[in-house]
Homo-oligomer: A and B are copies of this chain.
């Protein structure tokens, strides 16, 4: 009646559980459970004894069982855009590190371009994530809908919530406007925009701010090209620009994110255009690669680390108290001046 018949093959290591420890210590499981979380009700020596025992046996609590019992999983679902955009790659690194600081783990649900599949989004719910971070530019409102319907807090990063969820983003409109102001000060007069994914608030706002800035100076866009938020898209746009006739040739190109800006730059240079003497290129994001001497991209930098921090703040707050209203945080970006755009004359 005492012979626990170890269900399966024994070869590896039957993981010790609270029950195991309880048997070893000759106490009840509840005592072990409490002792391990330093419940003051358990006498100090029993606590110490059990702690040592746990240490020696290599006991690890089963987070999944704990969830079942306690309600919180400590898991955050993460939906991410294409890793070919270094902005998202770095966001991932930040998110993992900062989540770990708070004792949270990231369950990565989707990465890459393209919409999120049904089975994938279901995983979000099946694994009882406490909350969800959505940082894909693509049409992921579906994932947000699913979470919202189930009462899972959602925070959108770098993208304003269309329907549900809080969001954290850079002030894209102001950023676009600042880019416009900088280019106008540099006496540029003919402007092209290389657009990312249409219908996404992030890039739409950047364009809107930019155009508003131009409009205030009585100017407007002379070219508007698709860039698909990829390097290749940017390159294609750059090629197109390079072969425009003199009449249409812009003297400044605003690519709505850095990865496209790099493509534009490479294409223009490959076509023999001198940057920034003949044409200025300016991006958005300030990904690490923009700072490389080969690119030296002038760009509007997003405060990525802070954005991730605020996102987690919002998320944990709404996990604590689901009744909290949704919240929108907008952070100011900062223009990073490098050498891909002509500078304002130092008057």
Contacts and interface: CB of A to CB of B under 8 A. Distances in A.
A92 interface: yes
Interface residues of A, number: 66
Which of A11, A128, A270, A294 counts the most chain B CB atoms within 10 A?
A: A294
A302 to B, nearest CB: 16
Interface stretch (A38-46, A102-110, A162-170, A246-254): A102-110
Nearest to A85: B89
B266 A294 contact: yes
B150 A11 contact: no
Nearest to A96: B111
Contacts of A58: 149-150
A185 interface: no
B108 A105 contact: yes
Contacts of A293: 235, 266-267, 270
A67 interface: yes
Contact of A126 (B61, B126, B127, B149): B61
Interface of A: 9, 11-13, 15, 58, 60-65, 67-68, 73, 75, 78, 82-84, 86, 89-90, 92-93, 96-97, 100, 103, 105-112, 117, 119-120, 122-123, 125-128, 149-151, 231, 235, 262-263, 265-267, 269-270, 288-289, 292-295, 322-323
Given A63-B123, A92-B108, 14 more contacts: A11-B323, A13-B151, A15-B150, A60-B122, A64-B64, A75-B127, A82-B93, A83-B92, A89-B89, A92-B92, A93-B112, A103-B119, A231-B289, A266-B292
Query: Can you list the 8 inter-chain pairs with the closest CB atoms, starting with the nearest?
Result: A12-B151, A63-B126, A83-B89, A89-B89, A83-B93, A60-B125, A266-B294, A96-B111
